[in-house]
Amino acid sequence: MSGPGGNGTDREFGDGDEAAAREAVRAAGVELVETGLVDGTWGNISVRLGGDRMVITPSGRDYRSLGAADMVVVELAGGSVTGAGKPSTEAPMHRSLYLARPALGAVVHTHSAAASTVAAARREVPAVLDDFVQVVGPSLRVADYALPGSGRMTRVVVRAMAGRMACLLANHGAVAAGRSLPEALLCARMLEKGCRSFIEAEFLGGAVPLHPVEAWAMHQVFLHKYSRTARGGRK
Ligand SMILES: [Zn+2]
């Protein structure tokens, strides 16, 4: 979809791809509602746009009523809005992830059901399933509680996601990321599946995690094997 960008990575959306990025975020919002990962106006989605901006869903609007023009373009460094619109209140969290992790191309925040349950219990999800581990990483940590939209939220999320593509937000929900938007959406689905399996396995006598080294290796294989083909499409 685009050539090599900054930071030595291929970008899904280059500086000139604003229209395509707006449409992709809009369509992803509808997909999240239709797959049951978000309800109404809860949750938010962004993609990196070129080297120093992102396109993010607006604050407090139902995804099914939004057009591509309603998406908001925000500068990563300062947080200023280019053009019109009021970005999601979680825009600072999205910006901090792009600034801290140059390889990330998309970030999805959901309040999906099983993830919210585990977030309420503040339990770290171990390496319960192969597919979960490949996409999310060797475990799903819980970021310390922070008020939505706060500066503290930006810090606890970056810390909890170190070496992983997702984390839970204590008593709140989940954050999933990817090098492309399809990969971030896959990650959001995998973390929800992993949380549901973890809850149910605990009821069956206790989840038995994979060995940490094997879990780490499986995630690395996913990142490297699919590093070329994950851009702008399914792996
Ligand atoms: Zn939220």
| Full-model pTM | 0.91
Check whether 51 has a pLDDT greater than 50. yes
Q: Determine the pLDDT at residue 41.
A: 72
What is the share, in percent, of the chain residues with pLDDT greater than 90? 81
What is the edge-to-edge ordering of all strands in the sheet holding 142-143?
A: 81-82, 72-75, 53-56, 44-49, 106-110, 173-178, 166-169, 142-143
List pLDDT tens digits, range 151-186: 999 999 999 999 999 999 999 999 999 999 999 999
List pLDDT tens digits, range 106-116: 999 999 999 99
Check whether 197 has a pLDDT greater than 50. yes
Candidates 33, 29, 177, 198; CA nearest to 115 is: 198
| pLDDT, average across residues 104-125 | 97
Of 26-40, 47-61, 86-100, 131-145, where does mean pLDDT reach its minimum?
26-40
Given pLDDT bands bounded at 50, 70 and 90, which one contains residue 227? Answer: low
Given pLDDT bands bounded at 50, 70 and 90, which one contains residue 3? Answer: very low
Question: Measured in angstroms, how far is the CA atom of residue 228 from the centroid of ligand 1?
Answer: 31
Query: What angle is formed at CA 194 by the lines to CA 191 and CA 197, rounded to 5 degrees?
Result: 150
> What number of residues does the chain have?
235
Which positions are catalytic? 90
**Choice between 38 and 155, residue whose per-residue pLDDT is larger:** 155
Check whether 230 has a pLDDT greater than 60. no
Rounded Cα distance, 7 and 193, in Å: 32
Protein residues with C-beta less than 5 angstroms from the ion ligand 1? 173
**Number of neighbours of residue 156 by Cβ within 10 angstroms:** 20
Domains and CATH numbers, the chain: 9-225 (3.40.225.10)
Question: Measured in angstroms, how far is the CA atom of residue 109 from the centroid of ligand 1?
Answer: 6
| pLDDT, average across residues 133-152 | 95
List pLDDT tens digits, range 55-80: 999 998 888 899 999 999 999 999 99
Question: Measured in angstroms, how far is the CA atom of residue 99 from the centroid of ligand 1?
Answer: 20
Question: Measured in angstroms, how far is the CA atom of residue 174 from the centroid of ligand 1?
Answer: 8
Question: Measured in angstroms, how far is the CA atom of residue 227 from the centroid of ligand 1?
Answer: 29
Q: Could you tell me the two tokens for 16?
A: 């000139």
Rounded Cα distance, 4 and 152, in Å: 33
Q: Tokens 């099914």, residue?
A: 64
Q: Determine the pLDDT at residue 235.
A: 37
